[in-house]
Structure 1
Amino acid sequence: MSDITIHVAFRGNTYDLTFPSSTPLSTLTSTLEELTAVPPNLQKLLYRGKKATSQLDDVSLLDVGLRDGTKVQLLGSTVDQVGDMHKAESEKRRRDGIMEARARAGPSKIRSTGKATVNPYVFHATQPLPHLPSPHLAQALLQKLSTDPAILHIMSTHKFTVGLLAELAPHENPELLGLNQNKGEIIKLRLRTDAYDGMRLYKDVRRVLCHELTHNVWGDHDNNFKELNSQLNREVAAYETSVQKGSHTLGSYSGAYDPSSSVEADALSHSHVLGGPSNASLDDSRDARRARVLEATLARLAREEKEIEDMCGSAGKQASSS
């Protein structure tokens, strides 16, 4: 039986491995564990539209369709990463248990000690990917998202709790921008550009975060999901508008579109024509321009939301990442 060489890509590295074609799949997964620290039971091998896991370890490389020159994408978490996620999950279960016990106990008299009440509707932990370049920049972005006043406002309003806010690596899940596991147990976000030459725009990442927070309530991208997702984005815009105006109290939000870029805002609020023939024609021209800008902006937002929806790994499954 002839030898075959396969090329395994994992987190920016490529491993060229040569085996006899009759080699058991378990030998390959054990070798990959030595090279990547990903245990065989957590390995997923993607190639030519196929997928192999350690559950198929009684078969040979040839049996599972691996040929000479096959390019394989390895997906999986290391033991350390799994340990970190388990710690975050354990902490979330502990906190949830405390909240449930308090709810069952009902109201009671508590003597004030002057200490502030702990707010459960927050991100309990953040986690960048330490093996990627400049992890401190990813941590700074996660920290900014997790303490964003507008995001914390909607989390408190809708009683959202997230155990772990983590980074999603472009090379591991190139088809995803975000992922929500178990309705907020873990939310992962794509922070970096595809070329790893910097971080994605903050407001773009925050829109994906609003999308993934919506999956705390709704799994599929149905009308219920779209309505709540739009509501969250409106509430974020309303909160920031109130802060800019110096308002300390948020009233009911009208639902009118709050422009996301200064160019669109200027076009909507300051459109004018110099030397117009009459006030009526001036108003008509201004209204027409406002309508065109609004239409174009809404179309742009719809396209962006469709892209986020297409690159979301959470719809219809809240259990685990793919």
Structure 2
Amino acid sequence: MSSSTPITFTVAFRGTPHALSCLPDSTIAALQARLEELTDVPPSLQKLLLKGKNVVAQNRDETTLIQAGFKNGLKLQMLGSTSRELSSLQSVESEQRKRERILRERALKPQAKLRSTGTSDVSFLKYRFHELTPLAHLPNPGAAMALLTKLSEDPAIKHVMQIHELSVGTLTELAPHEHPGLLGLNVNAGQAIKLRLRTDRYDGFRLYAEVRRVLCHELTHNVWGDHGNNFKELNSKLNREVVEFERAAAIGTRSLLDSGDVYQPASELEAEARSYILGGVDAVPSGGFDDSPAERRRRILDATMARLRKEEEELEQSCGTGHSTNA
């Protein structure tokens, strides 16, 4: 191809195609500067994908389009965060660091006595997620950071981490195009937990309840690497404790680990459990239907756990931890 004959190709960013025409000897850096004008994504955050492979070379100031394999009719996808989104993420991270600094300072102060409704600040600092890291090159990292923060501060999750002394170095996300088919991954027994937060098309985020169930599964891998009976027993226990914690909190019998405020959880689990019970004639004993509050709570809990066990069997196929010791 003559160096004076432009190459025409398309770069799609968040569903919007951008038709471009550049000379073959134009550099990758020049192309990225043009894309920044079109999308407000800085070159350092741009990721150009061709069939899932990033075509941005390290020496982008010298690599030409023709050297990078560009040709007429090529269709690429670009991932990255805009300058505004990056600013939002930095603001969230700054607030997160501020909270962590306050907690560290509080832990170093002499404690007169431990709270009767929770554990010590030192224990709380130890058994938690020590770092939250969204993927900055994916769309809307600020929203991903907010979801990771919600998971890390979920009272039921904090509760089971304290009880079972579970600590996670980094809580981060899985990119759908980089890990197709996986919903979660535990690296080195808690060094990092990676969760699929986004939909496959990057046009939104998965339901919170679904992501949290995957998180419980991956927390179990802190203790057991494969999906054997020991894993299933502990994972079932974690799920049951999460459900029991939220039910107890809903009726005001349990306080948060780090404050005196009563936690008021969402009722998705209980509502779903009730849908399994209503109309179920097999559950009605011959002597009549016991509708006492204690029996009703037991039935709802049993139905919830039965559903969670079924979903857990499906989740094992989407977990990258138990299938590879080198993950």
Match of 2:261 in 1: none
TM-score of the aligned structures, taking structure 1 as reference length: 0.57
Aligned length: 275
Distance in 2, Cα, partners of 1:301 & 1:161? 21
* Of 303, 308, 316, the match for 2:314: 303
Q: Is the 8 A contact 1:178 1:189 kept in 2?
A: yes
CA positional deviation for 1:55: 0.7
CA positional deviation for 1:305: 3.0
* Of 62, 65, 77, the match for 1:73: 77
CA positional deviation for 1:229: 7.7
Match of 2:14 in 1: 11
Is 1:62–2:73 an aligned residue pair? no
Is 1:149–2:149 an aligned residue pair? no
Is 1:24–2:33 an aligned residue pair? no
Backbone CA RMSD of aligned residues = 5.6
1:17-56 equivalences in 2 (<5 Å): 17-56=20-59
Amino acid at match of 1:304: L
* Of 193, 210, 213, the match for 2:216: 210
Distance in 2, Cα, partners of 1:44 & 1:139? 20
Of the structure 1 ranges 52-61 and 225-234, higher mean CA displacement relative to structure 2 is found in 225-234
Distance in 2, Cα, partners of 1:114 & 1:17? 64
Amino acid at match of 1:75: L
CA positional deviation for 1:310: 5.8
CA positional deviation for 1:47: 0.7
CA positional deviation for 1:61: 1.3
User: Alignment partner of 2:78: what SS?
Assistant: strand
Distance in 1, Cα, partners of 2:34 & 2:229? 45
Taking a change above 3 Å as real, the CA distance of residues 141 and 59 of structure 1, as seen in their structure-2 partners, is: closer
User: Alignment partner of 2:77: what SS?
Assistant: strand
Question: Once the two structures are superposed, what CA deviation does each residue of 1:53-74 show, in whole Å capped at 9, x if it has no partner?
Answer: 2414222212222222211122
* Of 197, 203, 217, the match for 1:190: 197
Taking a change above 3 Å as real, the CA distance of residues 127 and 306 of structure 1, as seen in their structure-2 partners, is: same
1:1-322 equivalences in 2 (<5 Å): 1=2, 2-57=5-60, 58-77=62-81, 80=86, 83=90, 87=94, 110=110, 112=112, 117=121, 119-120=124-125, 121-122=127-128, 144-156=150-162, 157-161=164-168, 177=183, 189-190=196-197, 196=203, 200-213=206-219, 217=222, 222-223=225-226, 228=231, 231-241=234-244, 244=247, 261-262=273-274, 270-271=282-283, 300-307=311-318, 309=319, 316=326
Percent identity over paired residues: 32
Taking a change above 3 Å as real, the CA distance of residues 174 and 60 of structure 1, as seen in their structure-2 partners, is: same
TM-score of the aligned structures, taking structure 2 as reference length: 0.56
Q: Gapped runs of 5+ residues in structure 1?
A: 103-108, 249-257, 275-289, 318-322
Q: Is the 8 A contact 1:189 1:209 kept in 2?
A: no
User: Alignment partner of 2:58: what SS?
Assistant: helix
